[in-house]
């Protein structure tokens, strides 16, 4: 078998996207996608789920910690619009782009 132990059509990879309260370790939102869905597209769903679906509890999301797979302009805008501080690892390509002057 070329390329690995199993042929590529044998199975599909699943990814778990989790929003966790880092103080209490409570799982606030959970989603599963296959490998074809880019991680950057999932953040809006997880953030909206946390903010909108907690049985009337006053949920305050101060910041979002994530790896570079969630680095997108749309995610930074979403967090800014909601007043949430982003702690997203910026991908190397973005650090190579010219800085905007204002």
**6 pLDDT exceeds 60?**
no
Q: What pLDDT, on the 0 to 100 scale, is given for residue 94?
A: 56
pTM, to two decimals: 0.70
What number is the average pLDDT over the span 6-13? 66
The tokens describing 8, both together, are 């590529």
Mean pLDDT within 38-65: 84
99, pLDDT greater than 60: no
The single-letter DSSP state of residue 89 is P
Structure tokens at 31: 């989603």
């Amino acid at each position: 078998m070329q390329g690995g132990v199993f042929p590529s059509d044998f199975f599909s990879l699943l990814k778990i996207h989790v929003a966790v309260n880092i103080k209490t370790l409570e799982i606030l939102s959970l989603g599963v996608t296959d490998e074809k869905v880019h991680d950057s597209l999932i953040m809006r769903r997880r953030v909206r789920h946390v903010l909108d679906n907690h049985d009337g509890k006053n949920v305050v999301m101060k910041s979002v910690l994530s790896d570079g797979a969630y680095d997108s302009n749309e995610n930074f805008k979403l967090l800014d619009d909601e007043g949430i501080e982003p702690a997203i690892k910026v991908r190397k390509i973005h650090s190579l782009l010219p800085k905007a002057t204002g």
